[in-house]
């Protein structure tokens, strides 16, 4: 992150405000158009191989009470962000929500955090500046990395050089909110392994999987934060490492994979910055459930709905996913990563992962 | 009282003994025992009724004399008793009449008149006198001064209840500050528990009598309360009308028959009833003939090929005439008969007579009465030879196609037999015909195993009745009716059956919708008023007009039910709300359709509203003698509903408009507070001056925006219409210097150094108009815009 970036972000914000100003001056009703953020309005970008927003837009216009309130909040938020950049400070999304309580105009205050989050996303899209460049942090900090990677992080307290195996404890290296403050120095890695659950990540570290296979283990912590996705993409792009995703065998985990690989619906405007289209899914695949005879849970109604909705999701329109989802709908079962322990604690590191990774051509 | 057993033994007969104690009771005595019937059942109510009767009388008296009423009502608390004083500025009552008016029940000019007036029975005010005398034992004190007389007459009188005659206790002359008028003072046992009803009565009287000034004082008031006039126009004078044929009862008809100067019934109905002329009288007489004499069946004549048979039969009936003449007579009668569509007996008689004359003239012979009678008889035999075939066709036409041929034929045959056995000349009244059909049908059902329902029977009756013809028999003279109830009843029915145009309405004096509204306006402080006056309609021969008014919003009580004000002939109805047709109708209307809240979808609506209904009629049907509630007469209920709905429709559109304006205003308030905040913050962020947001605001509001631009001595008012409709505006700019070169046909008026520049532009939806003028030097401006609701207007000076 450079001072340049901050200045550019601030300028973009003020440009946005100036546009409202001009609309007023021309006697026009101020308005702001943003792409509609729904599943039906994402399209595949052939060049970048990621999913981005389509042409449909929603307009926030001051000609309705709702629209006027939204725009007022937007202007207040612009003012706040601009000052934050001016003072080189940062805040969390949640802090923004609470901070609005202190604004002098009641109508400008947010009524829920969803509203403030959504507004920040709106501003990102319209100004083409990422939230990180506004110095807005998400509530939960990024996840962790463990593996043969040497890097330099630009912190508020100066530069730090860190080796992600030797300089860290068992918890691993904490990914900062803005991974663009990191510079990769050196690595011995063969591939990146993104893991959904903390339990599995700890199992892999305890079994020394990262050392044995020269793996950079990225903990996703459920649905991955932007910082996690960003650093994954950078590991792939800058270090040329294959990226694999290891998650549970249920529809929600497939979505975790798809947001790593193709981008999420909410942040499709940042897909080319966050998504790693080359990422590969290890499992648990529905066919693994059968093949490895894993303990299962039956699919709930919401699981079935989610699977069916994935069949219509443009991001899952591939032969591979269609086949996997059909299998799962057929067997009506799901399994967790940690169900592999039914074959012993080392089964995952000694049998399952090597087999799958070989099959996928990573090993 | 001695037992009957004991008296039976006496010489004197029991009937005589009983007769001794039997005597006529006077009407006054009767009401003494039944004062509740007149609304004097309690002290509280008695006072209200007394006020009501006295005020009604005073209003009637002044209006009749063409004087704008100025009425003073005072109630004083005298400890044990209350004194009621009512003064009017009417014409006064002559010395001779005073005792009768106030001291004799059922005395008055109204009872027999068909004309709208407040009092009708002539018992009201004298009943109040009676009540006062019964409870306080004091006489009524009456002062009356006729115009131009030097002094007022003063009486103290009581009613002799045995004789229903006034008894003057004291009389003389006195001085009085009013130049003409009447004053009555009654002392009575009473209380003020009905204070709110009294106040309501006065207020409601003021509403329906916007031409009257009322003053009211009761013991708890420091100052009398004034109800001012809203108009100086007296109600239209009413004219008395004769009764309408649809509105009389048998007893009345008999009385009228006895009293009339007319000899003929035709003259009687034309003279004594309204809306009956020659033609209507003829219709009534024909209807009477149908009922009284019955109609004669008219049969289809024999077919053409049977003509010679018919001619022969007729000729054979003729004797002692030359052969030529006889044959010619037979031929011509037959010819004439065959030429007819249908022929009834009396028509045949006429036809034969005519033919007899013409053939007789041709042959120089005379076909006398006997010959004619014989010929008629012979021809009638031929005509009625095939009743069955004729009736078969009628029955077949009248019944549904599903009836099989056997049933139709069976019914026709039996019906034909009824005619044959029935009255001479095949006469039958409608009732008799129905009887024929019923019996024929019953037999057909029994023997032919058919079903002939009520509708089918009625259809047959109607089909046959329509072919029958009214007889030309002379209607009896009026004097014969007087003693013949049945015949009089036939006449009454005949009148009711005849279509007669509605009675004239100049006997009614509606308040008119404008004055209903004015009356509501002066007594109720509301935001909205609507009124409607219906056209006159008739119930039982009495014309009536219904008017309704609605007031809404403002200072009216918002909690609870709307106020329902009921009036009959300009008199407020205070008691028995629940028994009144007016209340029933108000409850039956779905007020939610008119945007008033109505829990459960029926009943009196809730909200800040007053609903008033006025029924004016020559004879308002009340549920009881105390005249508190209008009876449930369907015609009147229908009109009440229509009148209320008419006014309610206006209320609805007002409420709708208000709602959308409120919504718009709310939106406007929110957006109008947000936009300046946006502008201010934008100024903050961009480091510029606050942007002009007014134009954007006007657009958002679909508003009409008026903006002033001043440049080099040219003043330009730009009117921008952002609304969806064309707007007609009145724009006035007040300028402190003389304006020149006014554009768009503007006018400028100089008012003490200020110029009023006025335009009346029409700005189309989405369009913009620039109004210009020139002015020299510094000037100040002030623009005002009319013709558009405030919430829709934005003015930027």
Q: Is the pLDDT of residue B9 over 50?
A: no
Q: Cβ distance B294 to B429 under 8 Å?
A: yes
A341 and A218 in a common domain: yes
Q: State both tokens at A86.
A: 């001016």
The pLDDT assigned to A356 comes to 93
Given A118, A137, A156, the domain boundary residue is A137
Closest residue by Cα to residue A42 from A296, A340, A313: A313
- The pLDDT score that the predictor gives to residue B119 is 60
pLDDT of residue A190: 94
Kindly list the catalytic residues of A.
98
How far the first Cα of chain A sits from its last, in Å, is 35
Provide the mean pLDDT of chain B: 84
Q: For the domain that residue A19 is a member of, what is the CATH number?
A: 1.10.10.10
**B671 vs A21, A62, A76: nearest CB:** A62
pLDDT in tens, A230-279: 999 999 999 999 999 999 999 999 999 998 998 888 788 888 888 999 99
| Chain B residues close to A19, C-beta within 8 Å | none
Is there a single domain that holds both residue A163 and residue A131?
no
Q: Is residue B674 classed exposed, middle or buried when 0-12, 13-18 and 19+ CB atoms within 10 A define those classes?
A: buried
- Report the pLDDT value the prediction gives residue B305, as an integer from 0 to 100: 77
Work out the average pLDDT over A41-69: 81
Residue B712 binned pLDDT confidence (cut-offs 50, 70, 90): confident
So what's the pLDDT on residue B22?
59
For residue B663, the chain A residues in CB contact (below 8 A) are none
Residue-level pLDDT at A339: 93
Predicted confidence at residue B110, as pLDDT, reads: 47
Q: State both tokens at A272.
A: 């080319």
A127 and A248 part of one domain: no
Cβ of B692 within 8 Å of Cβ of A65? The answer is no
Averaged pLDDT for residues A97-110: 87
* pLDDT digit string, tens, across residues B463-486: 899 999 999 888 899 888 888 888
Domain count, chain A: 2
Taking each continuous run of H as one helix and of E as one strand, the counts in chain B are 24, 27
Q: What's the pLDDT tens digit per position in B715-763?
A: 888 888 877 778 888 888 888 888 888 888 888 888 777 888 888 888 8
- Encode pLDDT of B48-82 as tens digits: 888 988 898 888 888 888 899 999 999 998 887 89
A176: DSSP letter:
P
User: Per-residue pLDDT for B8 more than 60?
Assistant: no
* Per-residue pLDDT, B109: 47
Q: Which residues of A touch B (CB under 8 A)?
A: 13-14, 17-18, 20-21, 23-25, 27-30, 62-65, 68-69, 71-72, 75-76, 78-79, 82, 105, 107-108
B692: nearest CB among A17, A18, A24: A24
What is the structure's pLDDT at A65?
A: 80
Closest Cβ opposite residue A25 in set B677, B684, B691:
B691
Question: What is residue B718's predicted lDDT score, i.e. its pLDDT?
Answer: 83
Same domain, yes or no: A121 and A162: no
pLDDT of residue B21: 59
Nearest to A69 among B674, B685, B688 (CB): B674
Nearest residue on chain B to A109, judged by CA atoms? B674
Instruction: Verify whether the Cβ–Cβ distance B679 to A71 is below 8 Å.
Output: no
Q: pLDDT tens digits, residue range B151-184?
A: 888 989 888 877 778 888 888 888 888 889 999 9
Same domain as A127, residue A16: yes
Mean of pLDDT values over A136-158? 86
Q: Which residues of A touch B671 (CB under 8 A)?
A: 62-63, 65, 68
Q: Which of B667, B681, B683 is the closest to A76 by Cβ?
A: B681
Interval B431-448: pLDDT, tens: 899 999 999 988 888 888
> Which tokens sit at B733?
């700019």
> How large a percentage of chain A has pLDDT more than 70?
98
- What does the pLDDT read at residue B26? 65
Domain residues for A352? 144-359
**B673 vs A24: CB contact, 8 Å cut-off?**
no
Report the percent of chain B where pLDDT is more than 70. 93
Residue burial B623-651, b: 16+ Cβ < 10 Å; e: rest = eeebbbbbeebeebbebbbbbbbbbbebb
Residue with the bigger pLDDT between B344 and B108: it is B344
Q: Which of A24, A65, A76 is facing B679, going by the closest CB pair?
A: A24
Does residue B10 surpass a pLDDT of 70? no
Average pLDDT over residues A108-117: 87
Rounded mean pLDDT of B230-241? 82
DSSP assignment string, B547-611: EEEEEESTTS--SSBPEEEEEETTEE--S-GGG-HHHHHHHHS-GGGGT-B-GGG-SSPBSSEEE
Structure tokens at B247: 């509105």
Report which of residues B248 and A2 the model is more confident about.
Answer: B248
Contact B677 A30 (CB under 8 A): no
Mean pLDDT over residues B249-278, rounded? 88
Tens of pLDDT, residue by residue over B484-517, are 888 999 999 999 889 888 778 778 888 888 999 9
- How far is B437 from B458, CA to CA, in rounded Å? 9
Q: Are residues A130 and A149 in the same domain?
A: no
Q: In whole angstroms, what is the distance from residue B90 CA to residue B100 CA?
A: 17
Q: How remote is the C-alpha of B464 from its chain's centroid?
A: 38
Q: Do residues B245 and B498 touch, judged by C-beta distance below 8 A?
A: yes
pLDDT classification of B773: cutoffs 50, 70, 90:
confident
Provide the pLDDT for residue B496: 87
Domain stop point among A91, A114, A137 = A137
What digits encode the pLDDT tens for the residues A65-96? Answer: 888 888 999 999 999 998 888 888 888 888 88
Whether pLDDT at B3 is above 70: no
Q: Would the pTM count as exceeding 0.90?
A: no
How far does A179 lie from chain B, in Å, by closest CA?
A: 29
State the sign of the Cα–Cα–Cα–Cα dihedral B295, B296, B297, B303.
negative
Minimum Cα–Cα distance from B670: chain A residue: A65
User: Nearest residue on chain B to A15, judged by CA atoms?
Assistant: B686
For residues B242 and B273, is the Cβ–Cβ distance under 8 A? yes
Question: pLDDT tier at B2 (50, 70, 90 boundaries)?
Answer: very low
Which whole number is the average pLDDT over B646-665? 85
Residues A228 and A290 in one domain: yes
CATH number of the domain that residue A251 is part of:
3.40.1360.10
Q: How much is the average pLDDT of B358-377?
A: 83
Task: Give φ, ψ of B301 to 5 degrees.
Answer: -70, 160
pLDDT at B115 (0 to 100): 64
For residue A291, pLDDT over 50 is answered with yes
Contact A78 B670 (CB under 8 A): no
Q: What is the pLDDT of residues B22-51, one digit of tens each?
A: 555 666 667 667 777 777 877 788 888 889
What pLDDT sits at residue B178? Answer: 87
Domain boundary among A77, A109, A137: A137
Count of residues making up chain B = 797
Phi-psi group of B242: left, alpha or beta (phi > 0 → left; psi -120 to 50 → alpha; rest → beta): beta
Say yes or no: A226 and A248 in one domain.
yes
Banded pLDDT at B4 (limits 50, 70, 90): very low
Cβ-based contacts of A76 with chain B (< 8 Å): 681
DSSP 3-state of B302: coil
Residue of B nearest to A17 (CA): B682
Q: pLDDT band for position A113 (50/70/90)?
A: confident
A72 to B674: CB separation less than 8 angstroms, yes or no: yes
pLDDT tier for residue A216 given thresholds of 50, 70 and 90: very high
Decide if A14 and B686 are in contact by the 8 Å CB cutoff.
Answer: yes
SS3 content of chain B, % helix, strand, coil (to 5): 45, 20, 35
Q: Are residues A101 and A169 in the same domain?
A: no
In A, which residues are within 8 Å of B670 by CB distance? Answer: 65, 68-69, 107
Question: Which range scores top for mean pLDDT: A301-305, B164-168, B304-308?
Answer: A301-305
Q: Kindly determine whether residue A21 and residue B688, on different chains, have CB atoms separated by under 8 Å.
A: yes
Interval B319-340: pLDDT, tens: 777 888 888 888 888 888 888 8
Least Cα separation, residue A38 to chain B (angstroms):
28
Q: Is the pLDDT of residue A178 over 80?
A: yes
- Chain B residues bordering chain A (beta-carbon distance below 8 Å): 667, 670-671, 673-675, 677-679, 681-686, 688, 691-693, 695-696, 699-700
- Nearest chain A residue (CA) to B691: A25
Residue contact A21–B667, C-beta within 8 A: no
HSE (side-chain half, CA atoms, 13 Å) at A172: 24
What pLDDT shows up at residue B19? 62
SS (H, E, C) B239-283: CCCCCCHHHCCHHHHHHHHHHCCCCCHHHHHHHHCCCCCHHHHHH
Q: From chain B, pick out residues whose CB is under 8 angstroms from the CB of A13.
A: 685
Same domain, A174 and A207: yes
Percent of chain B predicted with pLDDT > 90: 20
Q: Do A132 and A167 belong to one domain?
A: no
Q: Is the pLDDT of residue B5 over 80?
A: no
Has residue A204 got a pLDDT over 60? yes
Question: Which residues of chain B does A17 touch, with a Cβ-Cβ cutoff of 8 Å?
Answer: 682, 685-686
Q: What confidence score (pLDDT) does residue B383 get?
A: 83
Give the mean pLDDT of chain A: 88
Whether residue A238 is found in the same domain as residue A353: yes
Nearest residue of B to residue A72, measured between CA atoms: B678
**Which of A9, A10, A21, A70 best tests the B interface by mutation, with the highest count of B CBs <10 A?**
A21
């Amino acid at each position: 992150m450079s001072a340049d970036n901050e200045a550019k972000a601030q300028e973009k914000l003020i440009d946005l405000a100036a546009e409202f100003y001009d609309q007023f001056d021309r006697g026009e009703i101020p308005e702001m158009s943003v792409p509609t953020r729904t599943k039906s309005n994402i399209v595949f970008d052939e060049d970048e191989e990621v999913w981005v927003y389509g042409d449909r837009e929603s307009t926030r216009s001051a000609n309705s009470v709702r629209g006027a309130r939204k725009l007022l909040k937007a202007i207040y938020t612009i003012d706040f962000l601009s000052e934050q950049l001016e003072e080189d400070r940062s805040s969390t999304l949640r802090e923004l929500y609470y901070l609005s309580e202190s604004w002098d105009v009641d109508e400008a205050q947010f009524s829920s955090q969803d509203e403030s989050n959504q507004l920040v996303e709106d501003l990102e899209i319209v100004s083409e500046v990422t939230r990180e460049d506004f110095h807005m942090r998400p509530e939960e900090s990024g996840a962790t990395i463990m593996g043969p990677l040497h890097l330099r992080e630009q912190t508020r307290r100066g530069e730090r050089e860190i080796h992600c195996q030797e300089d860290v404890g068992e918890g691993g290296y904490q990914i900062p909110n803005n991974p663009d403050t990191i510079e990769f120095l050196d690595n011995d890695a063969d591939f990146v392994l993104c893991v959904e659950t903390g339990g599995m990540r700890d199992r892999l570290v305890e079994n020394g999987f990262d050392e044995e296979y020269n793996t950079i283990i990225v903990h996703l912590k459920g649905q991955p934060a932007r910082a996690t996705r960003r650093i994954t993409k950078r590991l792939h792009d800058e270090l040329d490492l294959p990226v694999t995703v290891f998650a549970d065998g249920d529809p929600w985990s497939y979505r975790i994979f798809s947001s790593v690989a193709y981008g999420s619906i909410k942040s499709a405007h940042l897909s080319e910055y966050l998504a790693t289209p080359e990422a590969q899914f290890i499992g648990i695949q529905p066919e693994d459930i059968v093949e490895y005879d894993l303990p299962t849970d039956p699919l709930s109604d919401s699981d079935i709905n989610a699977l069916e909705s994935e069949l219509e999701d443009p991001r899952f329109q591939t032969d591979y996913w269609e086949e996997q989802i059909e299998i799962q709908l057929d067997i009506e079962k799901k399994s967790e990563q940690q169900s592999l322990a039914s074959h012993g604690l080392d089964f995952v590191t000694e049998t399952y992962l090597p087999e799958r990774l070989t099959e996928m051509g990573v090993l | 009282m001695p037992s009957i057993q004991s008296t039976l033994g006496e010489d004197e007969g029991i009937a005589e003994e009983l007769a001794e104690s039997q005597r006529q009771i006077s009407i006054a005595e009767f009401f003494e025992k039944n004062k509740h019937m007149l609304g004097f059942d309690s002290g509280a109510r008695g006072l209200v009724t007394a006020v009501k009767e006295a005020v009604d009388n005073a209003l009637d008296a002044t209006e009749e004399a063409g004087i704008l009423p100025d009425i003073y009502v005072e109630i004083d608390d005298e400890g044990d008793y209350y004194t009621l004083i009512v003064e009017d500025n009417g014409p006064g009552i002559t010395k001779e009449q005073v005792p009768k008016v106030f001291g004799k029940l059922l005395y008055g000019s109204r009872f027999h008149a068909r004309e709208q007036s407040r009092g009708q029975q002539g018992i009201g005010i004298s009943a109040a006198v009676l009540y006062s005398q019964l409870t306080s034992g004091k006489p009524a004190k009456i002062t009356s001064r006729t115009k131009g007389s030097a002094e007022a007459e003063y009486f103290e009188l009581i009613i002799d209840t045995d004789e229903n005659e006034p008894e003057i206790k004291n009389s003389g002359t006195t001085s009085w500050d009013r130049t003409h008028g009447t004053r009555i003072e009654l002392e009575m046992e009473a209380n003020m528990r009905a204070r709110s009803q009294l106040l309501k009565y006065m207020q409601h009287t003021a509403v329906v009598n916007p031409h009257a000034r009322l003053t009211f004082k009761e013991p708890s008031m420091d100052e009398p309360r004034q109800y001012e006039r809203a108009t100086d126009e007296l109600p239209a004078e009413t004219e008395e009308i004769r009764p309408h044929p649809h509105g009389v009862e048998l007893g009345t008809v008999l009385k009228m028959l006895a009293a009339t100067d007319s000899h003929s019934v035709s003259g009687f109905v034309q003279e004594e009833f309204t809306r009956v002329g020659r033609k209507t009288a003829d219709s009534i007489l024909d209807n009477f003939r149908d009922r009284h004499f019955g109609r004669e069946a008219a049969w289809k004549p024999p077919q053409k090929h049977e003509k010679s048979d018919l001619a022969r039969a007729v000729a054979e009936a003729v004797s002692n005439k030359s052969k030529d003449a006889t044959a010619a007579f037979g031929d011509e009668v037959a010819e004439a008969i065959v030429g007819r569509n249908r022929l009834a007996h009396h028509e045949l008689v006429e036809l034969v007579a005519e033919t007899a004359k013409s053939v007789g003239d041709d042959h120089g012979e005379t076909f006398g009465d006997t010959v004619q009678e014989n010929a008629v008889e012979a021809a009638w035999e031929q005509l009625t030879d095939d009743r069955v075939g004729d009736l078969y066709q009628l029955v077949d036409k009248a019944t549904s196609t599903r009836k099989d041929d056997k049933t139709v034929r069976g019914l026709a045959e039996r019906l034909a037999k009824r005619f044959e056995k029935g009255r001479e000349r095949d006469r039958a009244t409608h009732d008799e015909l129905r009887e024929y059909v019923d019996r024929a049908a019953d037999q057909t059902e029994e023997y032919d195993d058919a079903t002939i329902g009520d509708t089918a029977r009625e259809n047959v009756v109607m089909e046959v009745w329509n072919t029958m013809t009214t007889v030309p028999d002379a209607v009896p003279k009026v004097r014969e009716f007087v003693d013949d109830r049945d015949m009089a009843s036939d006449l009454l029915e005949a009148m009711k059956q005849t279509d007669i145009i509605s009675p004239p309405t100049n006997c009614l004096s509606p308040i008119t919708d404008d004055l209903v509204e004015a009356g509501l306006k002066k007594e109720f402080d509301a935001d909205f008023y609507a009124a409607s006056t219906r056209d006159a309609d008739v119930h039982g021969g009495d014309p009536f007009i219904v008017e309704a008014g609605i007031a809404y919003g403002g200072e009216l009580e918002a909690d609870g039910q709307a106020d329902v004000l009921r009036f009959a002939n300009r008199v407020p109805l205070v008691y028995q709300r629940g028994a009144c047709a007016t209340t029933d109708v108000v409850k039956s209307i779905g007020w939610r359709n008119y945007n008033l809240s109505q829990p459960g979808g029926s009943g009196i609506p809730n909200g800040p509203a007053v609903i008033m209904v006025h029924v004016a009629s020559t004879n308002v049907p009340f549920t009881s003698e105390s005249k508190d509630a209008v009876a449930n007469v369907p015609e009147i209920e229908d009109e009440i509903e229509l009148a209320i709905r008419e006014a309610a429709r206006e209320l609805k559109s007002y409420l709708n408009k208000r709602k959308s304006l409120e919504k718009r205003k709310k939106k406007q308030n929110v957006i109008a507070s947000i936009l300046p905040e946006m502008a201010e913050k934008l100024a903050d962020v961009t480091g510029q001056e606050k942007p002009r947001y007014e134009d954007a605001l006007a657009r958002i509001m679909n508003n009409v925006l008026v903006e002033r631009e001043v440049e080099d001595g040219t003043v330009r008012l730009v009117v921008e219409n952002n609304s969806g409709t064309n707007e007609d505006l009145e724009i006035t700019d007040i300028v402190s210097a003389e304006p020149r070169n006014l554009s768009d046909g503007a006018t400028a008026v100089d008012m003490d150094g200020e110029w009023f520049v006025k335009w009346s532009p029409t700005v189309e939806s989405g369009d913009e108009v620039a109004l210009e003028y020139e002015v020299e030097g510094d000037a100040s401006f002030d623009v005002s815009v009319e013709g558009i609701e405030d919430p829709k207007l934005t003015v930027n000076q």
